[in-house]
A and B are shown apart, each in its own frame.
Chain A
Amino acid sequence: MAEMMYWEAIRRAHDEEMANDPMVICMGEDIGVAGGTYKATKGLYEKYGPERVIDTPISENGYTGLGIGASFLGVRPIIEIMSVNFAWLAMDQLFNSAAKVRYMSGGQLTAPIVMRSAGGTAHQLGAQHSARMEKVFMGIAGLRVVTPSTPKQAYGLLKSAVRCNDPVYINEHELMYNMKGEVPDEEFFHPLEGSDVVREGHDVTLFGYNISVHWCLQAADILSKQFGIEAEVIDLYALSPLDRAGIAASVRKTHRAVIAEEAEPCVGVGAEVMAIINEECFFELDAPPVRVSAVNVPIPYNHTLEKAAIPNANDVVAAVRKMFGK
Chain B
Amino acid sequence: MNVADKKRLLREMLFARRFEERCYEAYVERKIGGFLHLYSGEEACAHGVLEAARPGDDYVITGYRDHIHAIKCGADPKKVMAELYGKETGSSRGRGGSMHIFDVEHHFMGGYALVGGPFPLAAGMAKAIKMKGTDQISICFLGDAANNQGTFHESMNMAKIWNLPVLYVCENNLYGIGTRIDRSTAVVDQYKRVSGYDIPSAQTDGQDVEAVYKAAKKAVDYVRSGKGPYFLELMTYRYRGHSMSDSNAYRSKDEERMWSKRDPIILLRDRLIEAGELTLDDYKAMDTEILDEIEDEIIAFAEQSPEPRVEELEKYCLAENDPWVLGGGR
- Selected contact of B35 from candidates A29, A86, A125, A305, CB within 8 Å: A125
* A-B pairs with beta carbons under 8 A, tally: 120
Q: In this assembly, does B112 line the interface, its C-beta being within 8 Å of a C-beta of chain A? A: yes
CA distance A34 to B180 in the complex (A): 11
Q: In this assembly, does B197 line the interface, its C-beta being within 8 Å of a C-beta of chain A? A: no
Q: In chain B, what residue has the closest Cβ to A60?
A: B149
Which candidate, B1-9, B47-55, B91-99, B280-288, is the interface stretch facing chain A? B91-99
CA distance A61 to B152 in the complex (A): 13
- Selected contact of B86 from candidates A85, A124, A309, CB within 8 Å: A124
Q: In chain B, what residue has the closest Cβ to A300?
A: B95
Q: In chain B, what residue has the closest Cβ to A309?
A: B313
Q: In this assembly, does B319 line the interface, its C-beta being within 8 Å of a C-beta of chain A? A: no
Given A34-B178, A302-B307, also A129-B94 (CB < 8 A): no
Chain A, interface size: which category?
A: 35 or more
What's the least CB distance linking A247 to chain B, in Å?
31
Contact B317 A302 (CB under 8 A): no
Chain B, interface size: which category?
A: 35 or more
Contact A297 B317 (CB under 8 A): yes
Q: In this assembly, does A321 line the interface, its C-beta being within 8 Å of a C-beta of chain B? A: no
Which candidate, B113-121, B128-136, B296-304, B320-328, is the interface stretch facing chain A? B113-121
Within 8 A of B (CB), among A58-74: 58-62
What's the least CB distance linking A307 to chain B, in Å?
9
Contact B114 A128 (CB under 8 A): yes
Residues of B within 8 A of A4 (CB): none
Q: Which of A89, A296, A305 lies at the interface centre, i.e. has the most chain B CB atoms within 10 A of its CB?
A: A305
- For this complex, 5 residue pairs linking A to B, each with C-beta atoms less than 8 Å apart, are A34-B179, A55-B184, A58-B146, A125-B35, A127-B96
Using a CB–CB distance below 8 Å, which chain A residues touch chain B?
A: 29-30, 33-34, 55-62, 85-86, 88-89, 123-129, 295-298, 300-305, 308-309
Give 10 A-B pairs besides A29-B177, A296-B317, A302-B86 with Cβ atoms closer than 8 angstroms: A33-B178, A55-B183, A58-B145, A62-B150, A124-B33, A126-B98, A128-B112, A301-B95, A302-B95, A305-B308
7 closest A-B pairs (Cβ-Cβ)? A301-B97, A124-B33, A57-B148, A124-B34, A302-B86, A128-B113, A34-B178
